[in-house]
Amino acid sequence: MPHSPLHITCQEVVELVSDYLEQALPADEAAVFEQHLNFCDGCALYVDQVRKTIDAVGELRAEDVPEETKARLLTAFRDWRRG
């Protein structure tokens, strides 16, 4: 199918999703992308999956600094200050 700027396929959507979420798509392409999502449940679900993936990855964020580590670093800081 000839590529029309007014139409993108689902297969193209899945490659553009990151650029879209990163707000790196030019305004006209972003509009076409959003238009596609309005009419295509499959791609809306796909974008939702990508967002949920990002959320899940974000859950791997390190926990708070262990007290022991903090204490050790503070000692290092005091030693450094004393030069």
Partner 1 sequence: MSSVAVIRDEAGLVERLRGGDEAAFETLVESYYGMMLSVAQSYVKTRAVAEEVLQDAWLAVLQGLDRFEGRSSLKTWIISIVINIAKTRGAREARTVPFSSMAPEGEEPAVEPERFRGAGDGFPGHWWAYPANWSERPEEVILGRETLGVVTEAIEQLPDAQRVVITMRDIAGCSAEEVCETLELTEGNQRVLLHRARSRVRAALERHLDAA
In the list 31, 34, 35, 49, the residue contacting partner 1 (rule: CB under 8 A) is 49
Among 4, 5, 6, 11, binds partner 1 (CB under 8 A): 11
CB atoms within 10 A of CB 33: 19
Cα torsion for 37, 52, 29, 22, to the nearest 10°?
160
Distances (CA, A) of 21 to 13, 15, 17, 53, 54: 12, 11, 6, 13, 11
Binding of residue 67 to partner 1 (CB under 8 A): no
- 6 lines the binding site for partner 1 (CB under 8 A): no
Establish if 73 lies at the interface with partner 1 (CB under 8 A). Answer: yes
- The answer to whether the beta carbons of residues 78 and 49 sit under 8 Å apart is no
Residue ranges in contact with partner 1 by CB under 8 A = 1, 9-12, 14-15, 17-19, 22, 24, 40-43, 45-46, 48-50, 52-65, 69-70, 73-74, 76-78, 80-81
